[in-house]
Structure 1
Amino acid sequence: MSSITPVSRGVTQLSLVGKYRFKRGYAEWSEADRDATDELAPYALTALDELRAASASLG
């Protein structure tokens, strides 16, 4: 019998999506036309806010 429950499967999927969102934020930051004062945080927060909104819609 599998020890993977629907909850653990959901957590695993959300963690993978979170990792993807962070990588996307990093990519946008690294490719942006920016100066030395631009930081990664706003890009990462935007990407993670999208994840938060998507997970909230799941219930």
Structure 2
Amino acid sequence: MTTVLIARGVPDSVAHLAAELGVLAFKRGYAQWREGDRDDGGGLAQRALAALNDLRAATTSLG
């Protein structure tokens, strides 16, 4: 992920941070998907995106 972001012009430090956050969001989404009701209509991708949205909301509240 880092390599692709850098290739698209994202500065190295930002690309590394974004990649790490993406991995953490995936891990959280996967854990929720694995432990949850898989028939609830919420897939793995949806849960990972929700984790990223939670992070976005938290950073926004910090100002």
Please give the TM-score of this superposition, normalised by the length of structure 2: 0.53
Structure 1 pair 19/54, CA: closer, same or farther in 2 (3 Å)?
farther
Count how many residue pairs are aligned between Structure 1 and Structure 2.
53
Question: Relative contact order: is structure 1 or structure 2 higher (C-alpha 8 Å, sep ≥ 6)?
Answer: 1
| Structure with max Cα Rg | 1
Stretches of 4+ aligned residues off by more than 4 angstroms: 51-57
Contact persistence 1:18–1:51 (CA under 8 A): no
Structure with greater helix percent: 2
Alpha carbon RMSD of aligned pairs, Å? 3.0
State the AA in 2 paired with 1:9.
S
% identity of equivalent residues: 45
